[in-house]
Each structure stands twice: as structure tokens, then as C-alpha cells.
């Protein structure tokens, strides 16, 4: 939605360039090994986990034994006020595309701040609000209130503007994800979708934000082959995630508690898995909350602007021109703030809704 600061910079705490370089080298060695080419042994730098895959008994419908994916990179990201940047297009986004950007935002009642109306093009943003509530408005003409559990999908396409502000009814916490769009959608008309929490498929532990999981389908249409899940596990609970066939890209980000993945404990950080088709096993270390993404690899370059991601320079030029055109006709004011008055004027709700008893 609107939890974005300028300069999408990100790095590991120790030596980010060396660590990211090692991740790409690790992927190349894996490809060489799969092709039968000689592979030189190489030790990871500090901050990168490289261990033997574990053998695990799982659902017999998939066979008695499955090798689980290894973690090849992990980082706590960098905090900028209420935002912890875990992934950006210039670093992990290149490795994990179509997932190109991930922020964890956390703001107390005292420190909540408005996020000025700003643009995007060429990408889609997915905001998952875990606690608190916010007002929003966008240049497609939609405005209203997001409550805890609600999600927002903003397919920027050829240009969109949006912004928001937190309400003083409790701390605000959630994730914002950016997804790179394929050429046929990167300049398409903007599309926004706001989904109430009760309409997000949920089996009690896993909410389906994008894609599908065990027969449950997200109400948001993903722009390409991907799955994005919000998971809550009780202390000691085990969960095995088998990505869809062809989902060679996979990662997880923990926002509460911790999870054991093999012999590695992942806390408040992002972990990148090696490319492949194997399952991923999670065991909660304390009550845990996290998101998981998997997808088929985005086969296009990432060409970026300040708030844009496109597949090429020409598309970026056209997307940024589209942003300027939208700014001339929209009801919003570029750089302005979302206020209750603006939301009401646009026909949106400004007060938290009352849920039916028992929900």
C-alpha cells in the first residue's frame, strides 16, 4: 500500500556485496552440478547458511522420503524508522524475482506517520496488515479503511498513485511485497483490490494471500505463477510446505517468534532457499508468524526507477510518462496526505467495521 521510503537499499550486516555474490555463485554451482559439470568447493561467507539437506519422512502420497531445500542466504535487513527493508530489486530481488521488494513495517500509536501520496508503475504491491488499521486512497478512485487481517493488491501497470495513514487505535504491523509484472501487464491499466480478512482463505494456520494452497484459492488473481502465504504456528508445531511444480524460487520472512528449518533457527529476518523442487519444513520455536513466497522464475530483467520496476528501459520510460498523465486527472494531490475527509469525499469508510458475532 503506502509503507515505502525512498532509496530501496538493502544489505547484509557484514559484507552485503560478498554475500549476495556468493548466493549467485552458489546457484551457478548448483546448475553446473545438475548438468554433470565439475564443481569447485566453496565456503560461504559469514551470515550465509550452507548445510547438508535433511532427509525427512513426509506425507506418503508424495513418497516415503523427501530431501528438503537448503537455506543459502539470510539477513535481518536494515531498519529505517518503522520500516525494516528485507529485500530490494537491486539485491535479493534479482535472485528472487518475481518477488523484488519486501518491507516489514511496525509503528506504535505514538510513532505512526502518514505516508504521502506517491506513484508506481510496472509492478504490483501487496500489503498484508497484521495489526492496527489504516486509511487509504488511490488514483483508481478507491478509498477506505484497512483493518487487521485485510490485504491490499495494487497492480500499478502503466501508472498509479496511492497513499495512506495509520489510525490511533493501536500499533500497526504488516508486510508490503512488490511483485514484478510480465510485459503484457507492466503497462496495463492500474487495478486495485482490497480484500477483507474474513475473505482470505484460511485453514487456521495458513492464509492464502496469492495463488493457491491445498485447494484454497486467493481472491486476488496473481499476475504469474506464484504462491504467497501467511502462516501462524504454535510452539513446536511442524509444517511442511511443498511448493507447486516449477516454483524454483522460494523464501520466508519471520515477523514474530522463530522457526527451525533443519538445524537453523530463523528469527526476525528473511531466508532464501536454494532453487529446486523440494519441500521446506518449518518447526515453530515459540509461537511463530511468518510469510512464505514461492514462484516460477521471472525471466525478464529488472529495470528500476524510484517507485517503478519494468522489463526494459522503453517500458520504464512509458510507465513514468503514465504516472505523470494520471497525476493530471486524479482527485489525489501528489505528495499530499490521506485524510478522513478525503476518504469520505471519495466514498470510502473511515470507521472500523463491526464484525458479526463469533468471527
CATH number, domain at 70?
Answer: 2.60.120.10
Q: What is the mean pLDDT of residues 176-184?
A: 98
Give the pLDDT score at 25.
57
**Residue 117 shares a structural domain with residue 177:** yes
Domain span at residue 59 reads 47-76+225-297
Same domain, 179 and 93: yes
Domain-embedded: residue 357 = no
Q: How many CA atoms lie within 13 A of 205 on its CB side?
A: 15
| Residue closest to 122 by CA, chosen among 260, 322, 284 | 322
What number of residues does the chain have?
359
Burial class (CB in 10 A: 0-12, 13-18, 19+), 28: exposed
Residue 18 covered by a domain = no
231 lies in the same domain as 280: yes
User: Average pLDDT, stretch 86-98?
Assistant: 94
- 273-292 pLDDT, tens digit each: 999 989 999 999 999 999 99
pLDDT above 50 (res 61) = no
Same domain flag for 63 and 91:
no
The verdict on 268 and 144 lying in the same domain is no
pLDDT at 64: 36
Cα–Cα dist 287/255, whole Å: 11
Residue 309 and residue 88 in contact, taking contact as beta carbons nearer than 8 Å: no
Question: CB of 192 within 8 A of CB of 127?
Answer: no
Question: What pLDDT sits at residue 204?
Answer: 94
Co-location of 160 and 128 in the same domain: yes
pLDDT band (50, 70, 90) for residue 32:
low
Residue 317: CB atoms within 10 A of its CB come to: 13
pLDDT score, position 354: 61
Query: Do 135 and 54 fall into the same domain?
Result: no
| Predicted local confidence at residue 330, as pLDDT | 97
| Domain assignment present for 350 | no
Among candidate residues 297, 313, 343, the one where a domain is terminated: 297
Average of pLDDT values for 165-190? 94
User: Does residue 316 share a domain with residue 278?
Assistant: no
The C-alpha atoms of residue 59 and residue 55 are separated, in whole angstroms, by 13
Task: Please check whether residue 216 lies inside any domain of the structure.
Answer: no
Residue 20 lies in a domain: no
Q: What is the pLDDT of residues 318-351, one digit of tens each?
A: 999 999 999 999 999 999 999 999 999 999 988 8
- pLDDT tens-digit series, residues 244-278: 999 999 999 999 999 999 899 999 999 999 999 89
Query: Are 174 and 235 contained in the same domain?
Result: no
Q: Residue 217: inside a domain, yes or no?
A: no
Supply the mean pLDDT for the chain: 84
Query: pLDDT at position 169, please?
Result: 81
Cis bond leading into 98, ω under 30°?
yes
pLDDT (0 to 100) of residue 352: 72
Strands 238-241 and 309-310: unpaired
Q: Does residue 317 contact residue 304 with C-beta atoms inside 8 Å? A: no
Domain end residue (candidates: 282, 297, 312): 297
Say if residue 153 is in the same domain as residue 90.
yes
What confidence tier does 62 reach under pLDDT thresholds 50, 70, 90?
very low
Assess whether 69 and 85 both reside in one domain. Answer: no
Rounded average pLDDT over 195-222? 97
Most confident of 19-33, 99-113, 302-316: 302-316
| In the predicted structure, residue 208 carries a pLDDT above the cut 60 | yes
Q: Across residues 146-163, what is the average pLDDT?
A: 97
Point out which residues pair with 87 in neighbouring strands.
102
Whether residue 17 has pLDDT greater than 90: no
> pTM higher than 0.95 for the full model?
no
Task: Please say whether the beta carbons of 41 and 29 come within 8 A.
Answer: no
| Structural domain contains residue 153 | yes
> Structurally, how many domains does the chain consist of?
2
Q: Mean pLDDT throughout 93-100? A: 96
Residue 25 lies in a domain: no
Asked if residue 147 and residue 165 are part of one domain, the reply reads yes
Amino acid at each position: 500500500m503506502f509503507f515505502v521510503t525512498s532509496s530501496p537499499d538493502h544489505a547484509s550486516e557484514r559484507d552485503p556485496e560478498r554475500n549476495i555474490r556468493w548466493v549467485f555463485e552458489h546457484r551457478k554451482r548448483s546448475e553446473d552440478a545438475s548438468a554433470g559439470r565439475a564443481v569447485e568447493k566453496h565456503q560461504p561467507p559469514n551470515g550465509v547458511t550452507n548445510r547438508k539437506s535433511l532427509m525427512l519422512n513426509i506425507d506418503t502420497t508424495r513418497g516415503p522420503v523427501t530431501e528438503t531445500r537448503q537455506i543459502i542466504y539470510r539477513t535481518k535487513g536494515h531498519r529505517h524508522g518503522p520500516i525494516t527493508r528485507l529485500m530490494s530489486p537491486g539485491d535479493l530481488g534479482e535472485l528472487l524475482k518475481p518477488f523484488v521488494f519486501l518491507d516489514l513495517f511496525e509503528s506504535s500509536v505514538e510513532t505512526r506517520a502518514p505516508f504521502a501520496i506517491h506513484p508506481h508503475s510496472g509492478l504490483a504491491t501487496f500489503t498484508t496488515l497484521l495489526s492496527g488499521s489504516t486509511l487509504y486512497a488511490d488514483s483508481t478512485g478507491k478509498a477506505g479503511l484497512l483493518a487487521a487481517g485485510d490485504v491490499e493488491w495494487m497492480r500499478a501497470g502503466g501508472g498509479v498513485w496511492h497513499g495512506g495513514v495509520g489510525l490511533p487505535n493501536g500499533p500497526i504491523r504488516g508486510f508490503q511485497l512488490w511483485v514484478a509484472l510480465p510485459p503484457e501487464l507492466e503497462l496495463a491499466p492500474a487495478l486495485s483490490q482490497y480484500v477483507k480478512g474474513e475473505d482470505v482463505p484460511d485453514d487456521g494456520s495458513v492464509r492464502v494471500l496469492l495463488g493457491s494452497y491445498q485447494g484454497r484459492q486467493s481472491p486476488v488473481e496473481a499476475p504469474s505463477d506464484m504462491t504467497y502465504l501467511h502462516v501462524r504456528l504454535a510452539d513446536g508445531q511442524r509444517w511442511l510446505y511443498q511448493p507447486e511444480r516449477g516454483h524454483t524460487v522460494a523464501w520466508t520472512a519471520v515477523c514474530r517468534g522463530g522457526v527451525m528449518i533443519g538445524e537453523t533457527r530463523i528469527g526476525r529476518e528473511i531466508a532464501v532457499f536454494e532453487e529446486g523442487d523440494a519441500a521446506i519444513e518449518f518447526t515453530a520455536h515459540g509461537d511463530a508468524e511468518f510469510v512464505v513466497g514461492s514462484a516460477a522464475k521471472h525471466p525478464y530483467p529488472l529495470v528500476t526507477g524510484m517507485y517503478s520496476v519494468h522489463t526494459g528501459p522503453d517500458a520504464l520510460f512509458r510507465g513514468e510518462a503514465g504516472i505523470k498523465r494520471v497525476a493530471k486527472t486524479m482527485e489525489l494531490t501528489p505528495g499530499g496526505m490521506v485524510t478522513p475527509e478525503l476518504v469520505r469525499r471519495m466514498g470510502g469508510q473511515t470507521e472500523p467495521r463491526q464484525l458479526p458475532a463469533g468471527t
